[in-house]
């Protein structure tokens, strides 16, 4: 294998904000000089460049080696962004080009401009060959980049930092996880517990102080000063860890152990996460998969006769209650959204109208309303909650109405038992109505509107008249 061009070509963002690959001729010449046409592995190339970069015998070679390594890093950064966009981009509405500007800030000039330290330079500076490959170090640093994290968070994707995980871990949990999940020895666990204790004492209280002066955002890596304080408080507790370097390594290892456990637990126990993950390329895939909530209330005795008696009561009430529930739920949501910045409340009503009255797909709604992606529409409409709230508000109203009506003729005990039956009957009925609204055939525009959609659209129309 001939040495790849990724050591003399840099991925960068040009003045117009476009991604561009730029060749750096001096770097190419330098690589050819050193490696020639040798069949040499990436690891060996990097190891040699690293040696030239760190042994500062020749300033020229140092700068050239740095330049080659920075080129390599830029490719890894691009790769990382690509992977992120592949996994989350479509649903959360961002492309990899949106991510690049946060992490590719090297202008690719050689010789370099000394006054500015680029992100890739910081990666290289913080790299230690003993700790693994430059590629994996780079991807670690990319995922820890604060600006990128902030952007991703706004898109609904987040990554808990090592430091947040350590902040949130209690000694007891640490002990159990290290013993049961990682099978560490008693001594190892004791050491980690002491380190965590010292870390909490220093880092958490300074985090609170920073918060109190208005500093926001991700937890930064501990500063050298903090590491020294942690080391000092540890030496009091007689753990032989003197240097900041060993401390940070131990802390990071601990956080990784906890993270592995976390990934294990979240993978196994929280399938609910995947609810939002359904990529809605076809209509409302999301709501079709929502499980029924109708089993929420305990099983009553079943008497069909009384049930039909009850149904006679509620049928005339049903439409009125649906109307009432729609108004209550939509009003509250609008009221909450009005407190937020921008036109969120108006956009919400529009999105609701497009979805229920015009049968528009979620991805198209996003496009029409200028929202980032399906995820944003999902967050705005919160259909799962919307459905449950309508259902429950109807229940509240129907129970009131029916109770008022029968109160005079039934004993308290009777009403109590009736209430159980009401609950079951209503759950079924309301469910049926909402089921219609979310059935897979909704893409077919010729199909008649369900009662639910019909009422909802009429309600939205009437709201519009008053806006």
- The interface with another protein within residues 228-257 (CB under 8 A) comprises 246, 249-250, 252-253, 256-257
DSSP 8: T
Q: Which of 118, 347, 423, 429 binds another protein (CB under 8 A)?
A: 423
CB-based burial label for 16 (10 Å; 0-12, 13-18, 19+): exposed
Pick the closer one to another protein by CB: 173 or 464: 173
Residue 434 makes contact with another protein by CB under 8 A = no
d(C-alpha 202, C-alpha 211), whole Å:
14
Residue 463 makes contact with another protein by CB under 8 A = no
Pick the closer one to another protein by CB: 112 or 179: 179
Q: Which of 89, 93, 108, 156 binds another protein (CB under 8 A)?
A: 156
Neighbours of 428 (CB within 10 A): 11
Residue 109 makes contact with another protein by CB under 8 A = no
Kindly state the tokens that stand for 348: 């919400």
d(C-alpha 82, C-alpha 84), whole Å:
5
Q: Which of 87, 122, 282, 432 binds another protein (CB under 8 A)?
A: 87
Pick the closer one to another protein by CB: 218 or 442: 218
Residue 215 makes contact with another protein by CB under 8 A = no
- Prior bond of 111 cis (ω within 30°): yes
> Angle at CA 353, nearest 5°, toward 349 and 354?
120
Select from 20-28, 117-125, 136-144, 451-459 the region that touches another protein (CB under 8 A).
Answer: 136-144
* Residue 12 bridge partners (DSSP): 20
Select from 36-44, 183-191, 268-276, 449-457 the region that touches another protein (CB under 8 A).
Answer: 268-276
d(C-alpha 133, C-alpha 47), whole Å:
10
* Size of interface with another protein, in residues (CB under 8 A): 92
**Rounded to the nearest whole angstrom, what is the least distance from the CB of residue 87 to another protein in the complex?**
5
Residue 137 makes contact with another protein by CB under 8 A = yes
Q: Which of 47, 58, 113, 136 binds another protein (CB under 8 A)?
A: 136
DSSP 413-436: HHHHHHHHHHHHHHHHHHHHHHHH
Select from 117-125, 267-275, 317-325, 439-447 the region that touches another protein (CB under 8 A).
Answer: 267-275
Neighbours of 320 (CB within 10 A): 13
d(C-alpha 4, C-alpha 14), whole Å:
23
Q: Which of 157, 311, 357, 460 binds another protein (CB under 8 A)?
A: 157
Pick the closer one to another protein by CB: 87 or 315: 87
d(C-alpha 179, C-alpha 360), whole Å:
53
Which 3 state secondary structure label does DSSP give 198? helix
- How many Å is the Cα radius of gyration of the chain? 30
Place of tokens 């979240």: 266
Residues 364 to 383 in contact with another protein, rule: CB under 8 A: 375, 378-379, 382
Residue 449 makes contact with another protein by CB under 8 A = no
């Amino acid at each position: 294998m001939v040495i790849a061009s990724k050591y003399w070509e840099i991925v960068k963002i040009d003045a117009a904000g476009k991604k561009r690959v730029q060749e750096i001729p001096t770097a190419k010449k330098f690589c050819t000089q050193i490696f020639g046409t040798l069949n040499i592995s990436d690891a060996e190339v990097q190891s040699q460049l690293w040696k030239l970069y760190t042994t500062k015998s020749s300033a020229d070679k140092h700068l050239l080696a740095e330049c080659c390594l920075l080129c390599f890093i830029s490719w890894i950064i691009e790769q990382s962004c690509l992977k992120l966009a592949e996994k989350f981009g479509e649903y959360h509405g961002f492309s990899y080009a949106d991510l690049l500007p946060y992490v590719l800030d090297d202008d690719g000039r050689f010789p370099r401009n000394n006054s500015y330290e680029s992100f890739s330079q910081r990666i290289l500076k913080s790299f230690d060959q003993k700790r693994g490959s430059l590629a994996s170090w780079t991807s670690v640093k990319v995922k820890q980049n604060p600006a990128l994290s902030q952007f991703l968070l706004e898109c609904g994707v987040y990554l808990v930092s090592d430091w947040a995980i350590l902040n949130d871990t209690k000694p007891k949990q640490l002990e159990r996880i290290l013993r049961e999940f990682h099978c560490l020895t008693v001594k190892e666990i004791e050491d980690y517990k002491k380190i965590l204790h010292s870390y909490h004492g220093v880092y958490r209280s300074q985090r609170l102080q920073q918060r109190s002066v208005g500093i926001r955002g991700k937890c930064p890596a501990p500063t050298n000063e903090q590491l020294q304080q942690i080391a000092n408080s540890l030496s009091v507790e007689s753990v032989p860890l003197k240097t900041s370097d060993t401390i940070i390594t131990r802390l990071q290892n601990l956080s990784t152990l906890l993270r592995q456990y976390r990934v294990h637990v979240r993978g196994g126990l929280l399938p609910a996460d995947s609810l939002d993950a359904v990529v809605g390329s076809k209509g409302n895939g999301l709501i079709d998969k929502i499980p029924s909530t109708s089993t929420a209330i305990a099983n009553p005795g079943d008497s069909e006769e009384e049930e039909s008696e009850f149904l006679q009561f509620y049928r005339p009430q049903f439409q009125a209650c649906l109307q009432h529930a729609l108004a209550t739920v939509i009003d509250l949501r609008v009221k909450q959204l009005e407190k937020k910045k921008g036109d969120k409340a108006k956009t919400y009503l529009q999105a609701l109208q497009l979805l229920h009255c015009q049968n528009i797909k979620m991805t198209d709604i996003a496009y029409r309303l200028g929202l980032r992606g399906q995820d944003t529409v999902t967050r705005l409409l919160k259909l799962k909650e919307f459905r449950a709230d309508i259902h429950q508000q109807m229940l509240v109203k129907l129970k009131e109405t029916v109770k008022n009506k029968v109160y005079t003729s039934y004993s308290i005990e009777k009403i109590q038992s009736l209430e159980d039956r009401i609950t079951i009957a209503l759950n079924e009925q309301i469910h049926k109505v909402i089921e219609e609204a979310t059935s897979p055939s909704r893409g077919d525009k010729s199909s008649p509107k369900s009662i639910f959609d019909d009422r909802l659209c009429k309600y939205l129309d009437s709201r519009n008249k008053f806006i």
